[in-house]
A and B are shown apart, each in its own frame.
Chain A
Amino acid sequence: MSEAEVQSDTGIGAPVRRREDVRFITGAGNYTDDINQPGQLYGVFCRSPHARARINAIDTSEALAVEGVVGVLTGADMVADGLGDLPCGWLVKSKDGSDMNSSPHPPMAATVANYVGEPYALVVAESTYAARQAAELVMPDFDELNAVVDLGEAPHSEQIYEGIEQNLAYEWALGDEDATRMAFARAAHVTSIDLTNNRLIPNAMEPRACLGAYDAASGEYTLYTTSQNPHLERLVLSAFVQVAPEHKLRIIAPDVGGGFGSKIFIYAEETAVIWAAGKVKRPIKWVADRSESFLSDAHGRDHITHAELALDDNGRFTGLKVRTTANLGAYLSTFGSSVPTYLYGTLLAGQYKTPNIYVEVQGVYTNTAPVDAYRGAGRPEATYVVERIVEQAARELGKDPADLRRMNMIQPEDFPYETPVALVYDTGNYEASLDRALELIDYDGFEARQARAAEDKKRRGIGFACYIEACGLAPSKLAIELGAGVGLYESGEIRINPTGSVSVFTGSHSHGQGHETTFAQVVSDKLGIPYEDIEIIHGDTGRMEFALGTYGSRSLAVGGSALVEAAGKIIEKGKKIAAHMMEADAENVDFDNGQFVLQDSNQALSIQEVAFASYVPADYPEDLEPGLTAKTFYDPKNFTYPAGTHIAEVEVDIETGVTTLVNFVAVDDFGHIVNPLIVHGQVHGGVAQGVGQAMLEHGIYDEYGQLQTGSMMDYCLPRADDLPDFDIDTTVTPCTHNPLGVKGCGEAGAIGSPAAVINAITHALGNKDISMPATPEKVWRAIQGE
């Protein structure tokens, strides 16, 4: 939305500074570790030092003798108490129609440990110090087994689980194989590429933490935890693990310091802690240290892919074949099965009219930490495949990479556009983003910049990524048919209080996204109530309706839309009350910017006056309930489809292989924008993470399954001085099916940027292949190989 269209300085479209930042920046945030309860104990987990080992026995006697130790609880104790496995929330079927092969997944290892860092016992003590001392004295009797670590070799390696041959969870496929084969048979040109999508380790600023408490009087359990979706946590812990019935379990996710997907999942630790709190009948707190986070947070990406693109004589894409081996880790994490399938294969059309696409994905178990959704979740992997092979095709055919993309793009008149891989894009204007990006990067000036760089013994390269993203996974019916274990709607509730202030309850959880600001802007805009009078409440199953929480850039498109619909219900009811008060019919009352106005009159009532009347119903419609509140469950009709163009320019130091990102342009179409300041922040953060994947970050296990990049000394996160100033702009085609016309912006930065950066580096290197991350030594070796 342009500046001119902004109606107020706090409404939709206004760059309001985040209200939550005041408490975060001044150290006044209320994170899980800030919360303490009387009589609280501290938990420390014993974790497997082996990637695969049979647990014969665990001797806890010495640990129990440590002063201050209250209990040592093992995985076997959880099994004995009848607790269930941690389930995977998406049932993927193999191409032969069979269900995926799920491994057993006890919350704590009971008989076998399957990755380094897997917990097998919980020590509970009066202090963290005592718990740590005791944890070192827990004596497991392990039989070490051969670990399966290498992803490519895993299907041919020793079988990890009984009954799961070739370590395959599934062999999934999507698209028309025969039609795609025929397209390749007729192709004028075929481009092939082999790619690795490197394993990433999330590293939210706040490590995972939880505080579990049991109230013997009421029989209620309360779990404070670092969750992106507390209701999902409650559902899984009650329905599957069976810690407590749903109505006796309350999950509170207070301030949470970042998630990037890694806090969607239901983990062993909070499961064990809430169960143990019930056993010892005292509150227990556990806070991960950074080393534990590296070992046990679900990792991201980790694919090996072979792809082929068929083109006709004119350079039109006629077919795309993709075969991917995806690492699922040792267990199927909560959504681990869906990420390399429904969130990946469905995105392989990209922005293009490729008529025939066929993708096969092998989901493979290895003795490594589970792999699940991480910012982008399948979509960065898909974009990396499409945008690298398209760039490669352009180079092989001697075509300008922008031109080749442009001639294959879906055009505005083609929408709604049904892809060969199951999605229906509702709207877009891909050339508009591409054109703006070319303008911002000064594409015409590239050759001159390249020549100048050469004078300094630097090779300059430019690379593109025109990405498509599917956000706000939907609709529920389709997702459930495809194997999702839950619906994909979101809840929202607006309560206008008697004094006219507003309490808003949203199922979306904010852990860095700024919902307290954005959602207040939306409600203020829709109800004409001052922004300052609106409070956004989230993250507590005791306060809000069942909800699905935050992932997949869905909060504004789904959770925000729920609030718009709730506001609509408020206005409808308000009109009836106002009409009664003004002695008119409701159909003759309009609502405009906080005022109920009687048509063709000078009579009006403010929403605050109407709210007061609703709670003090003296002069009030007979057939109407008192109060002015409304609840909604909003189930979107389709995904939203943000799209855009990212362009990276790099300079490579020929002598050292050091690559510097010198210029980065992102032009994104997120539909309407509620708060441009927050959107820019999301793009900055996402691009930084994407550049991290492309150039710096790599989760590496050695052949024995030991994590070699288990600290920030070896796992390289991007820092400010690794990045240039980004040049960011947006284009707008409003989403056609949600009331805000919004699409979602949380992941786009991480989706488009890796391909753009690697395309720029391979361009600088004269089309030498480079795998992510493009470390200086890899680049230097590529230069040496010339």
Chain B
Amino acid sequence: MYQFNYHKPESVGEARSLFQDADDPMYLSGGMTLIPTMKQRLAAPTDLIDLSGIPEMTGIDVSGGKVTIGAFTPHNLVADSAQVRGTLPVLAEVAGLIGDNQVRNRGTIGGSVANSDPAADYPAAVVGLGADVVTESRTISGDDFFKDLFETELKPGEIITKIEFPVPTRAAYRKFPNPASRYAVVGVLIADFDGTIRVGVTGAGPCAFRASGIEEVLNDNLDPAALDGVEVPDAGFNSDLHASAEYRAHLVKVMAKRALEDLLNG
């Protein structure tokens, strides 16, 4: 790790102004990606702005037909929340499948979403459920948020404060974990909003995306067998030691089918 200046602001406004005044700052949320990267000397921010001291960024609110998760809320709080389990169980399930227990105790939803790791789980929920990503200055639609590998709609210094999830009629998530890292090789979330189907995919491409081809088929016929004829093109898909693009495309289809079976079996 290289030397850096450490800050722990008490408000979002203070965090923003610290960011503006520093040479090459980074926000620290759970640090599940940033800290290992810094320890390997692959990241060298001049200033680390720790978001853990901002109370309003942590917490869960269920009201107005929405589940709102504060950006600093750790995964285990979501996974174990009776409110989330009761209202939006698929989100608790997604959170419970992230990493291991240590990661779930430290890692946060805001950090995960802001990082746009192609293999993270939460982005599938943001896209699949059509969540709104709320920052200190605006609301970004989940459909527009993820741009590319580690690239989002966020502007430099912009802070995610919370994420608002609409509550579907029913939903399910299936993940094919990387056997080593347990990140998603492919993860598919299917949500049914009163007959309108949304499908969010993580792991397969450079960032999370909606599988519009699958959505189209399922909006016509909400039957796992309907997916047999769907072609999932692998153009632009990730290909690495653990899975080729072709295999990932195949897994998108299989995970979609299994998620749909879960969804239909309630």
Residues of A within 8 A of B (CB): 132, 136, 291, 655-656, 696, 700, 708-709, 712-717, 722, 775-777, 780-781
Contact = CB atoms under 8 A, between A and B. Distances in A.
Contacts of B243: 776-777
Interface in B200-250: 241-244, 247, 250
Given A775-B242, A777-B244, A780-B247, A712 B179 contact: no
A260 B37 CA distance: 29
A777 B181 contact: no
Given A291-B40, A656-B254, A709 B241 contact: yes
A722 B180 contact: no
Contacts of A715: 180
Contacts of B247: 776-777, 780-781
A696 B179 contact: yes
A399 B168 CA distance: 57
Interface string B85-116: 00000000000000000000000000000000
Nearest to A132: B41
Contact of B180 (A656, A712, A781): A712
Contacts of B254: 655-656
A301 B40 CA distance: 29
Nearest to A708: B241
Contact of B250 (A714, A722, A775, A780): A780
13 contacts: A132-B41, A656-B176, A656-B254, A696-B179, A713-B180, A713-B181, A714-B241, A716-B180, A775-B242, A776-B247, A777-B242, A777-B247, A780-B247
A714 B181 CA distance: 7
A136 B40 CA distance: 12
Contacts of A780: 247, 250
B179 A656 contact: no
B79 interface: no
Contacts of B180: 696, 712-717
Interface of A is mostly: loop
Contacts of B41: 132, 136
B125 interface: no
Interface in B243-266: 243-244, 247, 250-251, 254
Interface of B is mostly: loop
B241 A722 contact: no
A780 B185 CA distance: 15
Q: Which of A132, A716, A777 has the most chain B CB atoms closer than 10 A to its own CB? A: A777
A775 B241 CA distance: 10
B251 A716 contact: no
The 9 closest A-B pairs by CB, nearest first: A716-B180, A713-B181, A777-B247, A716-B179, A655-B254, A777-B243, A714-B180, A656-B254, A696-B179
Contacts of B250: 780
A184 to B, nearest CB: 39
B63 to A, nearest CB: 37
Contacts of A656: 176, 251, 254
A136 B2 CA distance: 11
Contacts of B179: 696, 716, 722, 775-776
A466 to B, nearest CB: 29
A656 B186 CA distance: 11
Nearest to A698: B241
Contacts of B251: 656
Contacts of A776: 179, 243, 247
A286 to B, nearest CB: 18
Contacts of B242: 714, 775, 777
Contacts of A696: 179-180
B173 to A, nearest CB: 16
Contacts of A716: 179-180
A715 B41 CA distance: 21
B188 to A, nearest CB: 13
Contacts of A714: 180-181, 241-242
Q: Which of A291, A700, A713, A717 has the most chain B CB atoms closer than 10 A to its own CB? A: A713
Contacts of A709: 241
A655 to B, nearest CB: 5
A771 B44 CA distance: 41
Contacts of A700: 241
A718 B244 CA distance: 22
Contacts of A777: 242-244, 247
Contacts of B241: 700, 708-709, 714
A480 B73 CA distance: 65
Nearest to A773: B179
A777 B244 CA distance: 8
Given A714-B241, A714-B242, A777-B244, 10 more contacts: A291-B40, A655-B254, A696-B180, A700-B241, A709-B241, A712-B181, A714-B180, A715-B180, A780-B247, A781-B247
A776 B251 CA distance: 11
Contacts of A775: 179, 242
Nearest to A722: B179
Contacts of A136: 41
A352 to B, nearest CB: 35
Nearest to A697: B180
A395 to B, nearest CB: 28
A717 B179 CA distance: 9
A716 B243 CA distance: 14
A494 B24 CA distance: 65
A291 B250 CA distance: 33
B231 to A, nearest CB: 16
Nearest to B181: A713
A135 to B, nearest CB: 10
Q: Which of B176, B179, B181, B244 has the most chain A CB atoms closer than 10 A to its own CB? A: B179
A716 to B, nearest CB: 4
A700 B244 CA distance: 16
A709 to B, nearest CB: 7
A116 to B, nearest CB: 16
A296 B262 CA distance: 46
Contacts of A291: 40
